[in-house]
Structure 1
Amino acid sequence: MTTSSPPSLQTFDVLIVGSGLAGLSAALLLSPHHKVAILTKRAVREGSSGWAQGGIAAVWDKDDSFAAHVDDTLVAGAGLCDLAATQFVVEQAPQAIAWLQKLGVPFSEEAGHAGQLHLTREGGHSARRIVHVTDATGAAVQQTLIEKVKQSPNITLFEHHTLVDLITTAKLGQGGPNRCVGLYALDDDTDEVLTFQAPHTILATGGAGKVYLYTTNPDTATGDGIAAAWRAGCAVQNMEFIQFHPTCLFHPHAKSFLITEAVRGEGGRLLLPDGTRFMPAHDPRAELAPRDVVARAIDFEMKKGGFDCVYLDISHQPLAFIQEHFPNIYARCLELGIDMSKHPIPVVPAAHYTCGGVQTDLSARTQVPGLYAVGESACTGLHGANRLASNSLVECMVFARSATHWITEELAKNAATPAQALPVWDDSRVTDSDESVVISHNWDELRRFMWDYVGIVRTNKRLERAAHRIALLQGEIQEFYAHFHVTRDLLELRNLVQVADLIVKSAQARHESRGLHFSRDYPGLLDQAVPTTLTP
């Protein structure tokens, strides 16, 4: 791997935007034979993948089956999962785990059984099939992949480079079918917008959790790839389905700290402040119900009782068990004065996962040739109306592999086709802004009204109010974008407002309550499950 301070135009075989599991997997799979650039807007380690605690779902035990994993995914997805995509991911999952093992990921093993992976169980799963590295799976996987990336001479890493926009032939005014031919990116260190050219571009930019006031996501989760793909002419699908994780640590000094699903999988119970267990009254699966059910139950109990939080209790398990299975959560809680081996953990729901995204096929292709979306920025059809726990990391790897297979074939067929040089970014007619307060104010306003109006429970009136405010913000932001030099804050806000608009439009189009989308005006379930597809 090399790092670079580039001239205004750089040319590669493949551009990858994002440095989470999806992006790094694609880069490593392509790097033996192709010149690859990874662009990431912060340091390479700062994506959502590294925050994943629970693990990776795959059929590994002899008593488990692909059919059972598929069925669990379909049930969690509330009838909206694409069957072909679901079978594709489930059947490829063991191969993805084996690939990570080969790379050296130190998965947890059964005590006293060297070589036998320890499998845990999470909500919505009918069997133990979660392969993990204690309670820090994402961090361990990311660390392993980053080390491999750094060893590759064909991968160039551009840290602190923020995607400005995709470059398409339509935007350039060229005739023929629209195609993605590159992108513009802001170098945060120099404040210069650079031009990157490639016949293939993979968006692996993650989700859009930062559109909400409370989220388990890192600050990077601003929907950049989804918004850029929309502006490039791609369809988006199922954007109304935002998964709220039921158990985010509730503490003033614990920003976005997630309490993994596996705590409930290992016997953790949800309690009201007076110690009453409440989940059995909401669902026969109790704490092991899918996330949407648990999040709505917590939201209901908090609003009913006027509570700031509820409590997750696993103190009935021995201290050694807790330290072995949840060492990072135990240590972090202890830092904050909470001994989870003796006392319950205060938790609240928070925006966690964007189930919708850029519409793709089984090769991760979007509707714009040359452009691909992988991971949380994509809508493959796997998650339907609600993602099953620990299906996301394996989706990253499966579709990264399928995308790279297609790209490799395309590069081989078109090896002799010369590329026309792209125009560099022109900012000669804009000035520096002296009104940055507009950006911070609009950012705060957006996240607050999205939390209030487009959260766990929705109504037509709330959605109308959100749509009205989004329209006002879009006008202000576009004027800002047209007249001033771009900054990372402006670009992220522009993308967040665009994604918020897509979420609200999708929610308004769904006249039922299904999975993660719950409407008081349409509490029933329609007979037929139909994806929500928006086109530019």
Structure 2
Amino acid sequence: MQQVDFLVIGTGIAGLTYAYKMAEKYPEKKVLVITKAAADETNTKYAQGGVAVVNDLEKDSFEKHIEDTLIAGDGLCNEKIVEIVVKDGPERVQELIELGANFDKESDGDYKLGKEGGHSEFRIIHHKDITGWEMERTLLEAVARLKNIEIIKHCFVVDIITQHHLGYLITKSTPDIECYGVYALNLHTNEIETILAKTTYLSSGGNGQVYRTTTNPAIATGDGVAMVYRAKGRIENMEFIQFHPTALYEPGLRGQAFLITEAVRGDGGILRNKDGEAFMERYDERRDLAPRDIVARAIDNEMKTTGTEHVWLDCRHFDTAKFVEHFPNIYEKCKSAGIDISNDMIPVAPAAHYSCGGIKVDEWGQTSIRNLYAVGECSSTGLHGANRLASNSLLEAMVFAHRCFVHVSQKVDNNDLPEHPTFKLNIPAWNALGTSTPKELILITQSLKEIQQVMSDYVGIVRNNIRLQRAIRRIDLLWEETEQLYKTSTLSPNILELRNLITVGYLIVKGSSFRKESRGLNYNTDYPQKSELLQNIVL
């Protein structure tokens, strides 16, 4: 058992920003950061396009960025949160630049600005086509300079510790549920450790791996959302899963697909069907730069209508040298697949990309569980509504990480943090008696394939009631089988991730079933119209 002042779960931009700020302000206090993989293996690392931020008030404005965000969110954005994120964004980006982040510049020293779907102006700052990687690098180097931050790699959080673990009955209606820390599986020792903290900060990333094909890395298994749901915390709007319209199509691929950033279309890339037709003008007046939900549905319809598994992204009219300069990794990936972008079109298809819902938080990142904060893709702040505007996610992570830092700092300075849990409670150690190693790993691997197949076939870009009913019946059975396996098995990352993915799949299906309308990323052919009632689905 160990005790820390500040516990951070996840090493993406949300986690590292908060950890750095807390450690820098309170050098006498310990900040512990846990990640289940390597420190740089995060969703942040794979963000290509950039950060949407207003940095030239002569050519752009906060009002335009706010309006673009609200339009993309299709009526469900929290306008107060949108204003906070857009207006606080420039200062947060400047802080990262001062830490050493390098964004591409023009010859006159101004930042190069890209334009992506749903944006009315050029406002995306970027580092080539690996912006997330550059931001991750900057923060890891900054964190390494502070002696009071410890990063434990390959440490898998199993569950949040609450009153439930002290023998109390906890329900959704229980007032003042408290977080005391976490149980975590240390993969170096294969022991379940008890880590107690005055405050716990979840930045555990997304859940794209619940689908057969996703732009997310293998670690994106919805761990934070699943843990909070099991702890009876509030989850909302999980039905809004954003499919990125243009992942590189590779026949037979399962798992992480290579992302072709929206910035390619921002620079003039054109989507074409198998007949070479530029089809987006038939779906939206903004054509290839319509919001992602519209583009993804358009591609899905073209594929189903023509009986093909992909469409084409045409970049043949680009200046090749400029393409290589702006998108060097995309160029090299295409080249390795035998695609010459100057002569060949790029085969693309939608892939699960981003969860707009998640752990419900307030304007300071507080969850419904006391002393537990959530930031980044695992959270639902109200910024994205029913559909995220391109390149708003990194901005949201930085802004809310700072807001959590401000909120927790005020508690520290006012001596308002709780005492260490062990001072008043007898937190039990993890009990693994009666468990054993599963004799057949097929029980885990096959169930993983099943949940991904069910979600992809029944709960994808376009849904209907029959598909959702089938999905929930199959997920219920998978849940029963997996819970039995979990209770009798020695814990491993495989079984923990499977359990979390099944929980996330259930939440997505339930959210979609409750939403009797088509709005944003939730398109149901049985309810093709929008409801007049604007509501968040809270589970």
Normalised to the residue count of structure 1, the TM-score between the two structures is: 0.96
Which digits, 9 at most, give the CA deviation of each residue in 1:141-173, with x for residues without a partner? 101111111221111111001110000124323
- Which residue does the alignment assign to 1:478? 483
- Which residue does the alignment assign to 1:162? 156
Asked if the contact 2:198/2:418 (under 8 Å) is kept, the reply is no
What letter corresponds to residue 518 of structure 1 in structure 2?
A: Y
Asked if the contact 2:198/2:419 (under 8 Å) is kept, the reply is no
- Which residue does the alignment assign to 1:27? 19
Residue 419 of structure 2: which of 397, 417, 422 is its match? 417
- Which residue does the alignment assign to 1:366? 367
- Which residue does the alignment assign to 1:214? 213
What letter corresponds to residue 443 of structure 2 in structure 1?
A: V
- Distance (Å, rounded) in 2 between the aligned partners of 1:325 and 1:341: 15
- Which residue does the alignment assign to 1:48? 43
- Distance (Å, rounded) in 1 between the aligned partners of 2:334 and 2:162: 48
- Which residue does the alignment assign to 1:288? 289
- Which residue does the alignment assign to 1:5? none
Q: 1:416 deviation in Å?
A: 8.3
- Distance (Å, rounded) in 2 between the aligned partners of 1:528 and 1:342: 49
What letter corresponds to residue 436 of structure 1 in structure 2?
A: L
Q: 1:414 deviation in Å?
A: 3.7
- Distance (Å, rounded) in 2 between the aligned partners of 1:482 and 1:502: 22
- Which residue does the alignment assign to 1:68? 64
- Distance (Å, rounded) in 2 between the aligned partners of 1:46 and 1:324: 25
Pair 418,300 (structure 1): closer, same or farther in 2 beyond 3 Å: closer
Q: 1:174 deviation in Å?
A: 6.0
- Once the two structures are overlaid, the 10-residue window that deviates more, 232-241 or 408-417, is 408-417
- Once the two structures are overlaid, the 10-residue window that deviates more, 521-530 or 72-81, is 521-530
- Distance (Å, rounded) in 1 between the aligned partners of 2:151 and 2:514: 40
Asked if the contact 1:178/1:368 (under 8 Å) is kept, the reply is yes
Helix, strand or coil at the partner of 1:260: coil
- Distance (Å, rounded) in 2 between the aligned partners of 1:177 and 1:292: 37
Asked if the contact 1:209/1:351 (under 8 Å) is kept, the reply is yes
What letter corresponds to residue 455 of structure 2 in structure 1?
A: M
Q: 1:407 deviation in Å?
A: 1.3
- Which residue does the alignment assign to 1:189? 188
- Distance (Å, rounded) in 2 between the aligned partners of 1:213 and 1:388: 24
Asked if the contact 1:42/1:159 (under 8 Å) is kept, the reply is yes
- Once the two structures are overlaid, the 10-residue window that deviates more, 332-341 or 369-378, is 332-341
Pair 415,506 (structure 1): closer, same or farther in 2 beyond 3 Å: closer
What letter corresponds to residue 246 of structure 2 in structure 1?
A: T
Identity of aligned residues (%): 46
Asked if the contact 1:322/1:341 (under 8 Å) is kept, the reply is no
- Distance (Å, rounded) in 1 between the aligned partners of 2:451 and 2:164: 31
What letter corresponds to residue 495 of structure 2 in structure 1?
A: L
- Distance (Å, rounded) in 1 between the aligned partners of 2:427 and 2:19: 23
- Once the two structures are overlaid, the 10-residue window that deviates more, 176-185 or 223-232, is 176-185
- Which residue does the alignment assign to 1:322? 323
Q: How does 1:61-210 map to 2 (within 5 A)?
A: 61=56, 62-110=58-106, 112-114=107-109, 116-173=110-167, 177-210=176-209
Normalised to the residue count of structure 2, the TM-score between the two structures is: 0.95
Asked if the contact 1:170/1:179 (under 8 Å) is kept, the reply is no
- Distance (Å, rounded) in 2 between the aligned partners of 1:10 and 1:333: 48
- Which residue does the alignment assign to 2:172? none
- Distance (Å, rounded) in 1 between the aligned partners of 2:72 and 2:274: 29
- Distance (Å, rounded) in 1 between the aligned partners of 2:419 and 2:361: 26
Q: 1:323 deviation in Å?
A: 1.1
- Once the two structures are overlaid, the 10-residue window that deviates more, 210-219 or 419-428, is 419-428
Q: 1:437 deviation in Å?
A: 1.1
Stretches of structure 1 that go unaligned for 5 or more consecutive residues are 1-8
- Distance (Å, rounded) in 2 between the aligned partners of 1:422 and 1:63: 57
Asked if the contact 1:246/1:349 (under 8 Å) is kept, the reply is yes
What letter corresponds to residue 183 of structure 2 in structure 1?
A: Y
1:492 aligns with 2:486: no
Which digits, 9 at most, give the CA deviation of each residue in 1:61-98, with x for residues without a partner? 22211111010000000011011111110011101110
- Distance (Å, rounded) in 2 between the aligned partners of 1:172 and 1:461: 42
